[in-house]
Structure 1
Amino acid sequence: RKRAVHAWPGAPVAVRRRSGAPCAVPARQNRTRGWERCGRQRNAGAPRPSLSTQTDEALRALLQRFYALQGERVETYRLFEEGHRAYLSSAPHYDFPRYRQLVHEVTAAFSGISREVLQLQGRLRDELGRPDLAQHLTRLQEREQEKLQLTAQLQLARQRVQDEPGVDTNQQEVRELKHRLIKTIEAISEILQDLKYDSEEAE
């Protein structure tokens, strides 16, 4: 522990800086202010995070959260499909109450994800100054809504095929819905690629 050195009244107190030059603080002045002034001189050359760096970090954190939400969407769709296959396998005495509960839970999950994505979209536009990335999220939300509607329609069509195996129009409907769903999934993938490209381009 260093010993305290007391100065004579009125004499300057020399505080050695890293550069070797003394920082003179009059003894009768407020010592705290003097030390703060010397500290500012010592740290004047220390690098501070720029506003641009802070914005980049916030953007990376936001995109990381967005991709995590997309992962939740993928997992929710997987559970939705598994639940529907189990529901079809319960024919002819369908376990409709259980399937209805599944639809309720899936709808709530997608609704929560969409709300948070909309919040991220607003932050991209208003806080981070990236309306281009916000626009990608807007397009994505529209496609995700379309994907959910097509998925629900396809599940109903598959049940009609199972219940009425001899009706050709049911088979045709399933094929058309599958095709539209594939196109929608491809569009979502393209939007995600655009988002990734535009976000990395600015780094």
Structure 2
Amino acid sequence: MMVPTDSKSLIQRFYHLQSERLETYRLFEEGHEAYLRTGPHYDFDHYRQLVHEITQAFCGISKEVLEIKGRLHHEFDRPDLSEHIEKLQSKEKEKLELTARLQLARQQAQDHPEDEDWQEKIQEIKHEIIKNKEALSEIMQDFKYDSEECD
């Protein structure tokens, strides 16, 4: 992989990583839905392998995003942009935790259809995910705005 040497390519790389992150979420969701279909005798080994691969993908993305954050700050003197990335990383961490909680709640709801608390829990988490996504897109808009100032 080419290491970007100018801030413009670095910013492009960052956008690319963000779309990779979205794609990884899509695979995670699909994998979890497939896993739920294996119930009630869940194919846990298969799912555990998926979680392992997804986790590795997210770690790789985060690691590179943090490198970009550091370079924007120190090499290109853009602490404003690195601050957006910092906020983004924290919201992304929250999104992953919420996604894991949602998956757990969905399995519980499937295993205990008589317990309506789980449906309520699912709605609660979905609402938090919506708020999280709104915050993420706000940060991305701020980043886009500030990074285009220097064109």
For 1:173, the equivalent position in structure 2 comes to: 121
Q: Distance in 2 between matches of 1:173 and 1:128?
A: 45
The CA deviation string for residues 95-139 of structure 1, in whole angstroms up to 9 with x for no partner, is: 100000000000010001000000000001100000000000000
Alignment equivalent of 1:78, drawn from 10, 15, 26:
26
Alignment equivalent of 1:191, drawn from 114, 139, 142:
139
Q: Distance in 2 between matches of 1:143 and 1:85?
A: 24
2:28 aligned partner, one-letter code:
F
The CA deviation string for residues 11-43 of structure 1, in whole angstroms up to 9 with x for no partner, is: xxxxxxxxxxxxxxxxxxxxxxxxxxxxxxxxx
RMSD: 0.9
2:8 aligned partner, one-letter code:
R
For 2:56, the equivalent position in structure 1 comes to: 108
The structure that has the greater radius of gyration is 1
SS state of the match for residue 93, structure 1?
A: coil
Q: Distance in 2 between matches of 1:77 and 1:200?
A: 27
Matched, 1:61 2:9: yes
Higher helix share: 2
Q: Distance in 1 between matches of 2:75 and 2:136?
A: 25
SS state of the match for residue 98, structure 1?
A: helix
Q: Distance in 1 between matches of 2:27 and 2:95?
A: 15
Amino-acid identity (%): 61
1:162 aligned partner, one-letter code:
Q
* 1:202, distance to aligned residue in structure 2 (A): 2.3
1:146 aligned partner, one-letter code:
E
Alignment equivalent of 1:136, drawn from 65, 69, 84:
84
SS state of the match for residue 165, structure 1?
A: coil
1:171 aligned partner, one-letter code:
Q
Q: Distance in 1 between matches of 2:40 and 2:106?
A: 14
Question: Unaligned regions of 5+ residues in structure 1, if any?
Answer: 1-56
Q: Distance in 1 between matches of 2:113 and 2:146?
A: 48
SS state of the match for residue 166, structure 1?
A: coil
The CA deviation string for residues 116-164 of structure 1, in whole angstroms up to 9 with x for no partner, is: 0000000011000000000000000000000000000000000000000
2:100 aligned partner, one-letter code:
A
Residue correspondence of structure 1 range 114-133 to structure 2 within 5 A = 114-133=62-81
- What's the TM-score once normalised by structure 1's chain length? 0.71
Alignment equivalent of 1:97, drawn from 45, 49, 66:
45
Higher strand share: 1
